[in-house]
Structure formats: C-alpha cells, structure tokens
Chain A
C-alpha cells in the first residue's frame, strides 16, 4: 500500500508502472496489487496521464515548494491579465504580429523573467483560455459527407485546411473575443480582439493565410460572434468555398455537436449504459423534420416488435441513407435488429458498391447481396434487353427471389409518397400477397398510428417509413444530420456520352459505344441513383450539400426525370408496383 514514507522517486516509478499496466488492459485490482498502490491512487495517476501525458503522472515533491522555483497563483493571475492587455487588438488592423501561438506565450513569459518549460507555458496558456481545443473532430470524416468532400477538394487544390472558431475571454471586467485558427497538424494561431466585425474577421483570415504561406480552406464554426455574411464575403473575395460547421451553444458541448455521423454511429454500436455529457435541453414544439423523424422511428419499432424476420432493402441512394440513419436512431443503444438487403443488378455505379460495403461495415449492419443469377447467366443487360425487361428480371424478380430465399416477412423500403402519383396512395404498411402482388383496390385502411402487421404465412408486408417525407425534407435532413451519401450526388469530372437526350456515364467497359460516340469529360452529378446505363446525369457545379439543395430548389423538372424506367409506359410505375417492384 501507499506508504507515506516512500521516496518520491520510487513512488513516481510505481505510478508510471501503474499507468502502463492499466493501459495494457489490466484491471484496477490487478494493477493495485502488482505495483502496491491503492486503487484511488492508480485512478488518479491514470487521470493525470490522460490530461497531461506522461509528464503529468509524476507527483511533485511534497511540502511547500521553494518560492523561486515556481510561480504562485497570485502571480499567475497577474501575468494573465498583463498578457491579455498586451495582446488585445483594439483597432481594426490585424497583421502577422497580432497572431499569437503558445510558443509566443512561452517567449513572452521568459521575457517577463518567468523560467518555465515550453510544456508548462502551454499548460498555463490552456488554463488561461488562450489555447482552446480545436473544433476539429478526432475521427476521419466518413465517405460521402460534406466534410470529406471539402477536404478532398482542398487537398486537390493544395489549400491549407484550417478550423476557425471564436471564444469569449473575460479578464476582470473586460470581455474580449478570441479568434482561433487551428491547423490539421495541431498549430493554433489566435488573436484577441476587443470587438469583432467583418473587417477584423477578414483581416484575421488574411493574416493566417500569410502566416501559413498557403491559400486557406477554412472550416468556420459559426457562433454569435461570427456572422455568415462575413464568410460569404471571404468566399467572394477568394473564389473558394468555405465549409460551415454548425454553431455550438457552449464550449462543453462543442465537441459532441461537431462529431460527424461516422463517430456517432460508432457510439451507437458501443452499447454504453452511461449517460454521456449533460442532457440536451427540452424542446418547446417539434419542427417538421423532428415530427417526420419521430414518425419514421415509430414505424420501424412497430415492425421490429411485430415481424418475425424483417429486412431493410438498401438501394445505396440518398433515401436509403436517411433510412439507415433513422434505423440506428430507432434502436439505439442496441444495433438495428435486422440485416440490409441489396438486390444487385450488377449494373450499379462502381462508387455505389464501394460506398455500400463501407457504410454497412461502419454502421454495423449485416449486408446481404442478392443477384438474380439466372438473369445474369442469360446475359440480361439494359443495353441488349431494354430498360423495362432489365428492371423486371434483375430487380423485380431478383427482389422476389431474395425475399423468398431468406423468408423475410417484412421489408423496409425507402419510397416516398411525393415521388410519383401512384405512390401517393400507397399505405405505410403495404400488404403483398404470397405472389408479392400489390392490390391497390384492397389496401388495408390505416388509422391513427395503429398499423396492422398481421399476415398469414407466405404473405409479406412492405413498409415505407419515409412515406411522408418530401425530396426537400430528405436533403434538409441529410444536411442537418451530416449523413454520408454516395459521392456521385456531388459534381465532378466524369466520362459522359449523350444518348437519347440523356447524359450517361461510361462507368465500365461493358457499355457498348455507338458509332460516333466518344466519352467526354463533363462536370456532372446525379440527382437519383440506379443502374448506370439507366441513370441520366445533369450538368452541375454543385460540390457541397448546400449547393445541391440550392440547385434542386431552383430546378424546374422533377426528380425522377433522370430515371429512364419511369418513361417506359404511361402509368408505368403503378404497373411495376402491382408486379412487385418496390
């Protein structure tokens, strides 16, 4: 046990040993027994390591320290206010001399005759609020998120990523604004301002750009201090986009607010039983997105409670992405209790396959992929058989085969009522006969939120949790929740041929080129995703989610226009659905 006479050096060795053992995964009791320290001491040592690294583990010599070797609390407080007075910029000019780093704080302290190490100076700067933590999330952004897109483009254009944030710093009665720029490598440049406006904000960015000697790719965390119009101003001036990070209420929640979807899904899989952080504030009323979210979650839970063997159909599109996100939410902290099923026509875009495998793994879903092998053996392709036959054999028949093979009794689909006229009348719980047929005239009435999931053996139900969402709701929700989507939704240079008035991407060499057709690189994106030979691209410069939403809101044709299968025959979707197409 911790003998009070243990010499400091020996004690510190034991403390270091304890931390090492603990990090290696030994239990507290084992560590305590092995090194001869009490459990609370081991805990304290580990905590010290977690906050200050190995340097923090050792305890300081006991007794009153010699007056010369350390700075008293009183002195520290005085130094802080002196430094703040020294660095605060009161006019609108911000140049490189006004940019401070922890290293400069160290230099200044040395000049003041305070002898300390750079590490200790850094600790003081942190304690004084002059080196706030970076708003950058620890995790890499998931594929398809807006942040990931932004970072990729910034790297391509050789621009320096910086996170811009603002903080309030009080000293005595004075209140200043600390403007920070964090680089990816951990450098924090800051300026202390008595007040902030557009000129000062832009001057700060300019100074940071001069300091790093590289054009910036700023990611700005909005706050009460930083206004959006200033950011727009910077974009206009530099002709480069800025990524906006959501505003945070206070610094204690800043990290969790900024966490990307990828990280929140990680927490979904660790079935933690501890409340994390402080509780979220109460809502006064629900917004339309909150109501839609709650309804979709309600629907998913009803299915899981009543179905024997449910499955979620995954099409890799944006609606599927939202459905997956909602499934994670509905069953948290448990993982979603059903697999994903992708009915693969083998003609999807390569990027879709990559995204599919990655996202299923990240979110912890079991992924089942079914292909209509008979159809594939017969060489069914959209080029030789036409879109109608291709869809029927590989998609509709493939889906029926998969449902029969795994004996799924309920299948979630991402269809929305606003997509198409015949969908507007479909129920949320859409009953299918044992031959998978939809009978529009004998649909079960659906009242209140009471869903009837009863069925006989062999019969099945398709459930559409997104029935009441519109396309705009989907995009707004993806934006609000930072849900990852396939990069094909964003504009990029892609090889395109024009055929029958549609721009088709040449995604692989299975596409036979007609006479006179040469793929041309064009900046395009896709508003809807399906089999690549059947999915028309649109010319676009939309590289961010907000660009996409903007483009969509200003568009003049509806979403399915790009999808060739709906044009086949009039009332075509209704016919397909009766036959079992989703």
Chain B
C-alpha cells in the first residue's frame, strides 16, 4: 500500500483554560464525562489515528458532539490540536508557519461547509472564483476556469446571480464548484449535504460520486447520516465522544460491528440496499449448479429482485467474467438479519 495522503497521529484536542493539565489525564486514560466532571475541561478528541488514502472518500461519522467537525478542522488547522500530528503529503503541518499554512490552504486543500458559507455580496461566479481571487488572479484569468466548474456542477448561466437568489441545493453546488476551482487535491466536506432536503441530498451525493470518478480527489466527508456515509465511503471512521470506536471498509463494519454503539447505529438502515454480493458470498472458484449470475457489486436488494422472491436459489457471483463466489438466498437472508444476532437484547427494533 502506498503512503497515505493524510495521516493523523495521536491527535488530542482539549477545550478549556488549562488544556496541558487535562491532556495528561486524558493520556492516562480518562474519558470525556470524567474529564468534564473532575477538571471542567471538554475532551474534543482523544488519541485519534486515521490514515486517509489518496483518491479515496474517507467518511467520518458520528452524532453531534462526537468531535467530527473539530476533527476535520484540524486537517487545515482552522483548529490547532492540543497534542499530536497531522501529516499531509509526508509533511507534519503542525510545524508550518503562518505563510506556509496559508499556502497549504490555498493550493492543497479546499473546504465545503454545512451552511454553504458563500459570500453574500459577491456574484455566484465571483464566489466560485474565490480561491483564484485569493491567489491574486484577475477577472480575465479566473472567469473561464470558474465558469467551467459552475457548468460542471450543473449551474450553467447562473454566474451573474447573487447567492441569496439561489435555492439551498444550488447554493451548495456553488460551494462545491468553489472548492473545485481551487484545484486542490484534497477536499474537506463538513456536513456538506446535511442542510439539504432528502431528495436534493441524494442528487448531490450522486453528483459528488460522479465528480469523484472523474477527478479522483482525496475527499474527507463528515456526516451524521449513516445511509450517506455508507453510500459515499471508501473508508469509514466512526467517532463517539471524541474517540474512534471503529474504522474500516463500510461493508466490513456493517457485517462485523465492533461495539454495541455501532450495532445500535446500524440497526435502522436498510441492509438490503447497502450490503453487496461480494460481502456476503461464499468465496469459491469451483463452478456449481446455480440459478443465474450476479455482479460482485450488486446489492442484496437487486439479488432478491433477480430471484423474484424465491428463497431457495443460488447465484454465481461474477467479477467481470470470472466467478469469485457463490451466493445462496440463505446467505442473503442471514446477512439481512445479522443485526439482531449480534446485538441481542440491546437491540430495540
């Protein structure tokens, strides 16, 4: 495996008057509630270690107060950590001075915000061109580039409007176009779609995946919505009370939840739509008598639909024209019920 694009090492963040004192306690193993009670310091993040690979979407998921927004702000140092390192392209950005940091923010990283954070007094085109204007481009040189990205996110001809004249979904498209204009290889997205209504949110997720197939950026995406996380993530990190409780490939987490908290979390989702054939199949190359073929990336929902509801079928799972496994309906049904097995009495559904 190549070196990760971004690597977070032993990151701690403590909010309060004397974070150094509280840091010792946190390192000694004190958790969020205890630290708040005994030392009146808020533990933002505790011993975070995450590697983010080049060209992947890393989704950081957690409920409000879990520290996910704090964590993403450490990546471009909008917030400075109490302890730990953030390594971007092999360099520890904690050692950066003001000018070098600004350079990083201008060229290596761009950010998309939950409430869009557009400049209300500038036109959509000027908003999209913000990263280039910041670098000192003249109107003539940024106009073509900004228009290109505006068209790419589906806002042809809206450049002369002001942000308040656009709907929420369109405003966030402007936000994404702005991030793309900076031509950085890392994109930070802080609950970028949380303020949008569900239908538009789905559109935006599709847009993001489409752009990602084309541009192969390193995207760090924050969300509190598990469906969104599972849809987008190549690598999923689950945060709770400022600590990483599980990280890995989303399908893997779904099948092997490592914590009762995660079991609760995944209880509500539609497993049939998220789990894929390759995750639940039996790995075998030997051919068997089957009722048909499915792709590795087919969701269980698609498999069930293909079997027309019959419960005693088996399928060959194909990667291209090569068989990689066998999927029986029994596997499918077991996988759908897995949450109940694993969670036992703690499951309320």
Partners in one complex: no
Interface residues of B (CB under 8 A from A): none
